[in-house]
Structure 1
């Protein structure tokens, strides 16, 4: 049997997508206000679990079950191009699932359960018969929850000895998960043609590209407004101002994105999303400052 090259294997796991859950895990660690002395090994293992393990698994699973759609949208991807031959894509997805479970088992009960949930959502998102991605509302919600909220909560719990974070941290994790739903929609603008043909109901397909761009922008912005209000209420005004400035720049960029969604979705992902996740870390430090 032909075997994939290392470059095809690496491309299948999409390292560029690992950053959001790794960053969210780090935000949870910061927000926990737990002392980090003597816990750096746990933090590093947790970041590896969030990114190169669970997130990479989700990418491999998605590429395997999306191989027919990718043959239309992205024919140079490893599986449709033949660089990942036969059923190697499926084998990698299964192997990475098992490796993720093994890594999670050394990080405590909460991390283990969170990893199982994240992996279950990854398979449910892509694999039939559930295949959540056929509905842009549900599919993007599953991804957003896994990439942001679940990773944030897991990071906080791991350094707190398995104890769930307080209500303020949970609320911020959920708000940024809601905002990440819009970020997930940005990825759908590049594949509208193939999604229509293959019956994938992404939001650009369901709503049209113009309306989907407006919904995605509002979905990213409104939770951040709520975060600003909460930070003010919790007595962290300067952190609220910082998040507000970051949001203001995003709003200016959103106007340009909405004017040409298909052409500028990747542009906004590259420049606007970093501002969103920067606000996440600012909010995490706000919680840490309040707890001190």
Structure 2
């Protein structure tokens, strides 16, 4: 059996929020991510979708150990990294990298693009200064920017160009796992398509495994092999991409699909606007499910959150 590039097992994140009443009101627990389990195979792209506040970005940050989980386990290439201290975690940082949504704040405005891209090599002590600079310029060229851009600064670039630099920096260490957190959400349509094609090319050439986080289902359909749908901190449906788009079973997934814009009016789906309470009430009732909502296999590889029917 092939070892997953990234595996999340029963991952949870709970924040403590102050109660109303100021300093003396105590705290309440807010579960942002609830019992999330995901498997990202080698050389594959897994889409993680859901509306704002569903917990998808928190899940991605926990997968990279940039946010500490409350409970659960994180495995990179079969190794459990959940409890590693910073020194023990550092070698695994070479295997896992992230591209953030806000590329402007993610790039140091005081550094040239060459230094920004080469910085991970410097942190990990890989190569001489000349070798680091050459690798950075070569990767700059690989993501579609001329090597002369190496002398520029982030403020001199467009949003699409900055995202290319962010991708180059994430890939300079040749990681096995890349988390892409809404990398196209701030881009116009033509630039978005260019970044999608770039990610596909890099994924094929470098054998990357990508966790692609997005609320844009059109992008997800064109890029991913499999999709997991998050609602209220939980995975409510996961299946191969075409199964999600062609045979969605959960009411929340169906509502997301109904909101996708289409060019031909004949292809429009009836829009479904369901409140969280209505979605909860419409949770599928299926044989084999438990008394509390949990994932049930309804077709090979197609899991849907359901309760006993």
Specify if TM > 0.5.
Answer: no
Q: TM-score, with normalisation over the residues of structure 1?
A: 0.29
Structure with more of its chain in strand, by fraction = 2
Structure with more of its chain in helix, by fraction = 1
Over alpha carbons, which structure has the higher Rg?
2
